[in-house]
């Protein structure tokens, strides 16, 4: 049988050295997986119980524990969740910044002069550059043109109209004044009461006739 002269002097010593190196490699891999699991779970959760369970799972089961951890670990890291929350807040802020019509409450753009849904006047156009201007502005910020003063309108009292399907309220009767009440009492006192009529007796009428 042909034998090769091994560096260790015999094949048994070479096999022992190979197994030792392989064991050292597995030990280094084991420690590296435990350390990687510890760092990874800290980036995904702040719960100390979950962190301890993940490290013990890899420490006790080695490769099978690492595979189980990859299946059960949280999907997103804390930084990714923070970025997603920032994106959601930015979208909500963008929706809140969009103007709404004061009449129909529908979304309108910043450059709209009137609401396209209910035709409510939102802004007025500049007479020189036609840019939309707020009613509170006294000059155009784009071209510097001053706005003409708006005419002041006197407030008018609202006219109450009866709603459809309901009758109009009846007018209240006017109370008589004190002078009218006194005159009415004077007239009633000056007028004599009527005399009562006496029933005619037919016997008296016959005696007078005889």
* pLDDT for 90: 85
Name the pLDDT band for 168 (thresholds 50, 70, 90). Answer: low
Residues 6+ away with beta carbon under 8 Å from 65: 57, 58, 59
pLDDT tens digits along 55-68: 999 999 999 999 99
Tell me the CA distances in angstroms from 151 to 134, 148, 154, 158, one per residue in order: 16, 9, 10, 20
Taking every pair of C-alpha atoms in the chain, what is the biggest distance, in angstroms?
A: 193
Name the pLDDT band for 1 (thresholds 50, 70, 90). Answer: very low
Mean pLDDT rounded to a whole number for the chain? 76
Cβ neighbour number for residue 103 with a 10 Å cutoff? 13
**More confident position, 33 or 133:** 33
Q: Is residue 69, in this structure, part of any structural domain at all? A: yes
* pLDDT for 77: 92
Q: Is residue 130, in this structure, part of any structural domain at all? A: yes
Same domain, 17 and 72: yes
Name the pLDDT band for 7 (thresholds 50, 70, 90). Answer: low
DSSP3 helix / strand / coil % (the chain, rounded to 5): 45, 5, 45
Contact 84, 55 (CB under 8 A): no
Structurally, the chain folds into a number of domains equal to 2
**More confident position, 10 or 58:** 58
Count CA atoms closer than 13 A to 192's CA, side-chain side.
3
Name the pLDDT band for 124 (thresholds 50, 70, 90). Answer: confident
Same domain, 62 and 15: yes
pLDDT higher than 60, residue 167: no
How far apart are the C-alpha atoms of 31 and 25, rounded to whole Å?
Answer: 10
Q: Is residue 169, in this structure, part of any structural domain at all? A: no
* pLDDT for 13: 83
Same domain, 76 and 16: yes
Mean local confidence (pLDDT), 94-99? 70
What tokens appear for 35 in the block? Answer: 């350390």
Cβ neighbour number for residue 10 with a 10 Å cutoff? 11
pLDDT higher than 50, residue 210: no
* pLDDT for 157: 52
How far apart are the C-alpha atoms of 69 and 53, rounded to whole Å?
Answer: 10
Q: Is residue 15, in this structure, part of any structural domain at all? A: yes
**Burial category of 39 from C-beta neighbours within 10 Å (exposed 0-12, middle 13-18, buried 19 and up):** exposed
Pick from 80-84, 194-198, 205-209: least confident: 205-209
Q: What is the DSSP letter of 166?
A: S
- Look at the alpha carbons of 77, 82, 84, 85 in this order and tell me if their dihedral is positive or negative: positive
Name the pLDDT band for 207 (thresholds 50, 70, 90). Answer: very low
Same domain, 20 and 72: yes
Query: For residue 68, what are the domain limits?
Result: 11-80
Q: Is residue 205, in this structure, part of any structural domain at all? A: no
């Amino acid at each position: 049988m042909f034998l090769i002269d091994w560096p260790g002097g015999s094949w048994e010593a070479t096999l022992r050295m190979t197994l030792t190196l392989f064991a050292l490699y597995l030990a280094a891999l084991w420690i590296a997986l435990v350390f990687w699991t510890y760092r990874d779970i800290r980036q995904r959760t702040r719960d100390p119980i979950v962190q301890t369970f993940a490290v013990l799972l890899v420490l006790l089961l080695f490769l099978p524990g690492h595979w189980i951890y990859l299946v059960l670990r949280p999907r997103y890291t804390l930084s990714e969740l923070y970025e997603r929350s920032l994106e959601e807040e930015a979208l909500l802020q963008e929706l809140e910044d969009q103007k709404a019509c004061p009449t129909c409450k529908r979304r309108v753009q910043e450059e709209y002069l009137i609401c396209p849904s209910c035709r409510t006047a939102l802004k007025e156009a500049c007479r020189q550059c036609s840019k939309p201007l707020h009613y509170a502005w006294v000059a155009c910020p784009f071209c510097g043109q001053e706005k003409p003063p708006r005419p002041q309108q006197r407030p008018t009292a609202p006219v109450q109209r009866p709603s459809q399907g309901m009758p109009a309220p009846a007018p209240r009767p006017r109370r008589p004044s004190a002078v009218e009440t006194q005159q009415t009492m004077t007239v009633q006192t000056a007028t004599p009461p009527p005399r009562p009529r006496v029933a005619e007796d037919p016997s008296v009428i016959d005696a007078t006739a005889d």
